[in-house]
Structure 1
C-alpha cells in the first residue's frame, strides 16, 4: 500500500502529539515545598486542649513540626503569650518569646516536642502562640515561615 503525502503528514502529526503527551505525563512533577506546625495536647494528640487555667498552673502540650522543604533544615518554634493577639502569615507577633524550641529535620521527617508553659497574670481570651522559623544558612538568619498555631485560654485566679 502506497501512502500519499497527506496521509503520511497526518500520521506523523498524530505520532508527534502522542509522543509529546506521553513524555509530559511520564515526567515527574516538582513537589511543593513546605513546612508545617501543629499543636497537640499533653498526650500528643489533636484536641482536648485546656481552655480554662489558673495563674501559675503548669500546662503541658506538644508541638508537631514537619519538614517537606526538599532539604534538611533547622527549625525554631517561638512560644509566645499573645495577650489576645495572633500573628499573620507574613508578620510574626510583635511579642518576645517566652522560650524557643529547636529541631533539626531531614526532608519528610517530623518531630513532636513536649513543652510546659505557665501564665503569670489573669486574662480572658489569652492566646498562646507558636510561630515556626527556619534557619537560612545563606544569610545566617532565622526566617519566619508564616506558619503558626495558637490556643485561646481563659487565665483566671491568683498566683500560687
Structure 2
C-alpha cells in the first residue's frame, strides 16, 4: 500500500514536527525549574474553608480565622503574615501595604510546593463599623536581611460591637513579635536551611525544627526556641 502526500499535507506534518521538537526542547530546558514562581495567601473561615466568615464580633472576645499560605517559589521561603486593622479610607494594594501597626504577626517557613493552614485567634477591643481587617504577606530577603512586602493581601470587613462584659485589655490584640536576639537567630537558621537546600540536602527536618522554634518563641518559650535553633544550625 502506498501513501501519497500533497504539499499541503506535508506542510501540516512539518508544522506538527516543529511544534513537537520545540515542546520537547522546552521540557528538557525547564525540567526541575519553576518557570513562574509565586506564593499564595488565602483567608479561610473558622472551619478552615472559604466562606463562613464572621460579620459581627463582640468587642474583647476572640474569634477564629485560618490563614492559608502556599509556596511555589522554587525554594524554601520564610513568610510573615501581618494582620492590620483599617477602615474604608485605608489604602492597601499590591504595591503598598497598609500604613498602620500590625495587631498580629504570623510566621512560617515553607518548602517549595508546600502549604499550610494556620489557625489564629483575633481579639478586637474597640467598637467599629465596617472595620477593614487586612492580612499582608511579607517574605524574608536573605540578601538584604529584612522582610519585604510581597504584594499579596486579603481583607475581611467586620463590625465590632460593644460587649457588656468588662474586658481586661485596651487596644487591639497584642502583636506576637520576636525579640531582636531570637529574630537574628531565626534568620541565621533560615540561611542554614537555604544553604542545605542549595547543596541538594534533605531540609525537611530542618524546616520542621525551625517552625517549631518560631512557634515556641511566639508564645514566649525562649529557652525551647533557642535549643531548637541550635539543633537546626548543627544539622
Q: State the 1:86 CA deviation.
A: 5.0
Partner-residue secondary structure (3-state), 1:53: strand
Aligned position for 1:6: none
Aligned position for 1:50: 54
Quote the Cα distance in structure 2 between the aligned partners of 1:70 and 1:153.
Answer: 36
Q: State the 1:16 CA deviation.
A: 8.2
Partner-residue secondary structure (3-state), 1:23: helix
Q: State the 1:19 CA deviation.
A: 5.7
Matching residue within 121, 129, 137 for 1:124: 129
Structure having the larger proportion of residues in helix: 2
Task: Please give the TM-score of this superposition, normalised by the length of structure 1.
Answer: 0.84
Query: Once superposed, what is the RMSD of the aligned Cα atoms?
Result: 2.2
Is the alpha carbon distance of 1:86 and 1:154 closer, same or farther for their aligned partners in structure 2, counting shifts above 3 Å?
Answer: farther
Based on CA coordinates, which of the two structures has the bigger radius of gyration?
Answer: 1
Quote the Cα distance in structure 1 between the aligned partners of 2:65 and 2:13.
Answer: 60
Unmatched tracts of structure 1, length 5 or more: 1-10
When structure 1 is superposed on structure 2, of 150-159 and 121-130 the one drifting more is: 150-159
Task: Please give the TM-score of this superposition, normalised by the length of structure 2.
Answer: 0.58
Is the alpha carbon distance of 1:58 and 1:18 closer, same or farther for their aligned partners in structure 2, counting shifts above 3 Å?
Answer: closer
Quote the Cα distance in structure 1 between the aligned partners of 2:91 and 2:122.
Answer: 17
Matching residue within 96, 105, 108 for 1:100: 105
**1:13-63 deviations in whole A, cap 9, x for unaligned?**
999866643321222255311101001111211101100111112111110
Mapping for residues 80-99 of structure 1, pairs under 5 Å: 80-84=84-88, 85=90, 87-99=92-104
Aligned position for 2:19: 21
The answer to whether the Cα contact below 8 Å between 1:86 and 1:127 also exists between their aligned partners in 2 is no
Partner-residue secondary structure (3-state), 1:80: strand
Structure having the larger proportion of residues in strand: 1
Quote the Cα distance in structure 1 between the aligned partners of 2:155 and 2:18.
Answer: 48
Partner-residue secondary structure (3-state), 1:97: coil
Tell me which of the two structures has the higher relative contact order, counting C-alpha pairs closer than 8 angstroms and 6 or more residues apart.
1
Quote the Cα distance in structure 2 between the aligned partners of 1:47 and 1:17.
Answer: 48
Unmatched tracts of structure 2, length 5 or more: 1-9, 167-235
The count of corresponding residues between Structure 1 and Structure 2 is 149
